[in-house]
Chain A
């Protein structure tokens, strides 16, 4: 990723030279990072949940680019759901898939995974058709509402509902894309081996030539992030905007970019609060390595599924609870147990580290971590050309 400051640019789509990092350091590869076998580098994303405002701009950016028609109407490769909540598709976390143990996940023989369930159309929620034409062109006074059968569920049906009682109710937003797992159980589930991890960056893709629409991948993904296209009769999923990563995206008009530059996924670049960081897990000078490996503040969602996701989350903080008289009390508003349920035991250390570093900054000290978590420099947020030759 070129820095908007202009310290490194790539001309005419040719190979980039020299360092691509914003801070001028040479890239070095993290040897200690566990990459999938046969993968040169692993592209990864960190989402800071403290910044998510639930605006769904990422959802719409993704939908507009990839899933706006042709049997993809119901698909949200990127969705933002309210937690606590049932999510999209409904109760996805209880649908099985993944692996029963780390040993099973590491097993090199194909087809060893935990079977799961196939969500129904109702679980996803059908794509509603609205009476726009009637209102806009026919002068109707009818209210704008979904046409056809009265919907009883849909994505974000329980938006902002959360849990807890006033004045201590709570919720936060959880944006989800395909995790491009180090051990993708969707790939294990496919009897035709139609799903693979790209060698150059570990992006998980469905080979549309090999796919025959059996949907074992949909069942086998514990995050329910593979979708079946009923019109094309193939399974489809988030592609981490790989054409953009390869420099094929629309650089025109994007600050600091020239043609051929790697562009982060649309869900990341279009995010108003810029909560996502994109780079390589094995780039020791990059934001992902620092947040995941060095500081341990970015965590995998449901690590117990054992697929080793490469999308990581900085867990959310919330104001403490209030007493009946409105006094602040020293009780977590978002129960720690709920965060552990989502992100595993690493939550404790992650939140403690952030707390400690935040206090350090409050005392006027330097904190690389807080600096990174609050950076507004795209070159620090996005590092995608660091391994280019």
Chain B
């Protein structure tokens, strides 16, 4: 083999090594992005018909995300005394509907039968509850604690005693019901776990209502209350912001493009410098 031939071979080896390095590097970037993603199943019409049922087999097709929860920052007494650490979240989208299923372990189904003599709750009974929080402006990321007056949130709320409500909030203590609910919910308690499905039509639009048909990622956060621990109001377990990947294909954080440019330039520089060095050394 000639010198030129050896040089070309070394160059190819280095290039291959560089490509391998890039191939190894890319997934870490994508992985960092995916940590807060709630993957959304594209549901067929047949699946969609079943998804309203909280324990339907169709939910096995939706990838689950284990979302960690912590006590919400709040001024109410004992706000740090919450009991649910994690909620399992799944989402599915048909042509017309968005389904979100929350599932979490709760040893007490509150209120239980003892707390409901004749089906009536008692004065010190609180219901288990869960909520899905979305920015009112689908492209915004409001403050995690129920938004602010300038950047409000939609909350889909389910409570074992009250049922579901669709509310608007602009910060703690501002929850206001919409005049009509467009979100429905179904809940099942099975084997020590709650399964709650929220469902809303994608095409519904309206003042102060989150648009679900926008063609970009949608932020979402979750909350769970354990009634027997007297959790209600700001005494709740909450998640950080996550997102539904509703955008056109992979899309990362805003700084991702800059990172890719820097990485690309660096790779080109390193490869050229190395090739040049090998060529001169040869």
Contacts and interface: CB of A to CB of B under 8 A. Distances in A.
Interface in A106-128: 111, 115, 118-121, 124
Given A191-B75, A214-B232, A216-B233, A230 B120 contact: yes
B122 A230 contact: yes
Interface string B19-44: 00000000000000000000000000
Interface string B112-138: 000000001111110000000000000
B149 interface: no
Interface residue range, chain B: 20 to 34
Nearest to B123: A228
B253 interface: no
A120 B122 contact: yes
Contacts of B74: 191
Residue from A74, A118, A191, A218 whose CB has the most chain B CB atoms within 10 Å: A191
B120 A192 contact: no
Given A191-B173, A192-B173, A216-B233, A111 B123 contact: no
A212 interface: yes
Contact of B123 (A115, A191, A193, A227): A227
B77 A119 contact: no
Interface string A215-258: 11011000000011011010000000000000000000000000
B1 interface: no
Contacts of A119: 123-124
Interface in B167-190: 172-175
Contacts of B77: 115, 216, 219
B161 interface: yes
B28 to A, nearest CB: 42
Contacts of B142: none
A96 to B, nearest CB: 10
Contacts of B78: 115
Majority secondary structure of chain B interface residues (helix, strand, loop or mixed): loop
A80 B204 CA distance: 55
Contacts of B124: 118-121, 215
Contacts of A219: 77
Contacts of B122: 120-121, 230
Task: Pick the most buried of B74, B78, B162, B232: most chain A CB atoms within 10 A of its CB.
Answer: B232
Main secondary structure of the interface of A (DSSP, over half): loop
A120 B234 CA distance: 22
A111 B75 contact: yes
B230 interface: yes
Contacts of A230: 120-123, 125
B76 interface: yes
Nearest to A230: B121
Contacts of A192: 173-175, 233
A191 B161 contact: no
Contacts of A124: 123
A225 to B, nearest CB: 14
A382 to B, nearest CB: 34
B143 to A, nearest CB: 16
Nearest to A192: B173
A213 to B, nearest CB: 8
Given A124-B123, A230-B125, A212 B76 contact: no
Interface string A121-146: 10010000000000000000000000
Interface string B135-176: 000000000000000000000000001100000000011110
Contacts of A193: 173
A230 B125 CA distance: 9
Given A111-B75, A192-B175, A233-B162, A214 B125 contact: no
Contacts of A191: 74-76, 172-173, 233-234
Contacts of A111: 75
Nearest to B79: A191
Contacts of B76: 191, 214, 216
B87 to A, nearest CB: 22
Interface string A323-344: 0000000000000000000000
Contacts of A228: 123
Contacts of A120: 122-124
A120 B124 CA distance: 6
Contacts of B175: 192, 212
A218 B123 CA distance: 10
Contacts of A218: 123
A124 B121 CA distance: 15
Contacts of B162: 233
A231 B120 contact: yes
User: Which 7 A-B pairs give the minimum distances between C-beta atoms?
Assistant: A115-B77, A214-B233, A121-B122, A192-B173, A111-B75, A228-B123, A191-B173
12 contacts: A115-B77, A119-B123, A119-B124, A120-B122, A191-B76, A191-B172, A191-B173, A192-B233, A215-B123, A215-B232, A216-B77, A231-B120
Given A115-B77, A191-B76, 6 more contacts: A115-B78, A214-B232, A215-B232, A230-B120, A230-B123, A230-B125
